[in-house]
Amino acid sequence: MPPIPQPPTPRIVIYYQTQHNQDGTPCSILPIITQPDIAVTHVNLAAIHLNDPPGHITLNDHVPSDPRYVTLWAELRILQAAGIKVLGMLGGAAKGSFTRLDLDEATFEAYYLPLRNLIRERGLDGLDLDVEEPMTLAGIIRLIDRLKSDFGESFIITLAPVAAALMSDRPEHNLSGFSYEALEVMRGRQIGWYNTQFYCGWGDLSKTDGFDFMVARGYPADKIVIGMVTNPGNGSGWVPFEVLQEVLITLKVRYPGFGGVMGWEYFNSLPGDRARPWEWAAFMTKNVRSGLLPLATAAPIVSASAAIGTGQQKQQPLIVDDDPKAKDDAPIPKDFEYFTDGSVED
């Protein structure tokens, strides 16, 4: 029986970077299709890095063919068979991938072709471009054009700007270097949507103001996917569920084409934390996709105190895959620590 077609919006996007538990066993992503009342639309596999020399590609800290990823690749194929689109996430906080793709044509080809081959080999449905280092507008356009040329119009291309980058073109509000407003004008038709980071000081999901302002600036509501940390341990800006629920319902009613939600990241998502990380997706399904797909039961609303582990449920320290932390971090607000791309809490 073929997968049930899913409406394009609102989307539920999960970033999947920490693929192993603390004991080294796989952190399975399959519960998002085996547990009830969950309608995830996209999974972004993080994080792919282009290293020196050309052709040296890693998924976090290891080559994609490493035996540690055998279960991962098998599970992602199962997700695709169930109708979920699987994208690779390129870049992130670890620098270098986009710098290498922003050089002369010969250098671009040397680094791009192995990436193209990886996408083909693993049958990825798209690529999420998380540009957290300076890149030229011409450079990102060249990359988008080449991906569309090689993989066709059905290949999904998304970007992951910080929220401030869609609200202002000032350099200090943007980790990517280029203007997203200019990119949307020039290549908007080739970009599926923006996985917008409303956390770590770049945006505030306790209210709708940021989303409203982006739409007022001209970004289509169906292309803004609001991004959040799924656990306070993953970065600052976590919003309690009862507050977030009001924001989600307001956006869904105010903008019929509301783009959806994304969560960084899967393995310790609240309210279930490490034991039941899929419960975040169940909460989002109830609040942004209810009425679109049949739901057997409603996911409960969770209080902030219960969600962050007071009482009997103790919050565990953040443990993520050991992707090396970049030495030269991009300029970000000083009142938080930024966890991404497998950086490990000390």
Q: What is the CATH classification number for the domain harbouring 216?
A: 3.20.20.80
Q: Which of 21-30, 62-71, 169-178 shows the lowest per-residue confidence on average (mean pLDDT)?
A: 169-178
**Which of 137-151, 280-294, 317-331 has the highest average model confidence (pLDDT)?**
137-151
**344 lies in some domain:** no
Q: What is the DSSP string of 136-190?
A: -HHHHHHHHHHHHHHH-TTSEEEE--BHHHHH---GGG-SSSS-HHHHHHHHGGG
Alpha carbons within 13 angstroms on the beta-carbon side of residue 9 total: 20
Count up the domains in the chain and report the number.
1
Contact predicate 342/18, CB 8 Å: yes
Write down the pTM of the prediction: 0.84
- Beta carbons within 10 angstroms of residue 85's beta carbon: 19
**318 lies in some domain:** no
pLDDT digit string, tens, across residues 198-225: 999 999 999 999 999 999 999 999 999 9
Q: Is 337 helix (H, G, I), strand (E, B) or coil?
A: coil
Q: How high is the pLDDT of residue 290?
A: 79
**243 lies in some domain:** yes
What whole-number distance in Å separates Cα of residue 113 and Cα of residue 287?
Answer: 41
Across the range 251-269, mean pLDDT stands at 96
- Looking at residue 130, what DSSP letter applies? E
pLDDT at 57 over 50: yes
Report the run of H or E that residue 277 belongs to, with start and end.
none
What whole-number distance in Å separates Cα of residue 40 and Cα of residue 10?
Answer: 10
- In sequence order, which residues have a C-beta less than 8 Å from that of residue 275 and are 6 or more positions away? none
Q: How high is the pLDDT of residue 173?
A: 86
Listed residue (321, 315, 317) closest to 337, CA to CA = 317
**33 lies in some domain:** yes
What whole-number distance in Å separates Cα of residue 253 and Cα of residue 314?
Answer: 36
**112 lies in some domain:** yes
- Give the range of the structural domain holding residue 59, as residue numbers without chain letter: 11-307
Listed residue (185, 184, 186, 213) closest to 198, CA to CA = 213
The torsion angle over the Cα atoms of residues 16, 20, 26 and 31, rounded to 10 degrees, is: -40
Q: How high is the pLDDT of residue 169?
A: 85
**152 lies in some domain:** yes
What whole-number distance in Å separates Cα of residue 343 and Cα of residue 321?
Answer: 7
Number of helices (H), then strands (E), belonging to the chain: the values are 11, 9
Contact predicate 216/178, CB 8 Å: no
pLDDT at 283 over 50: yes
**342 lies in some domain:** no
**240 lies in some domain:** yes
- Looking at residue 284, what DSSP letter applies? H
Q: Is 14 helix (H, G, I), strand (E, B) or coil?
A: strand
pLDDT digit string, tens, across residues 134-182: 999 999 999 999 999 999 999 999 999 999 999 998 878 899 999 999 9
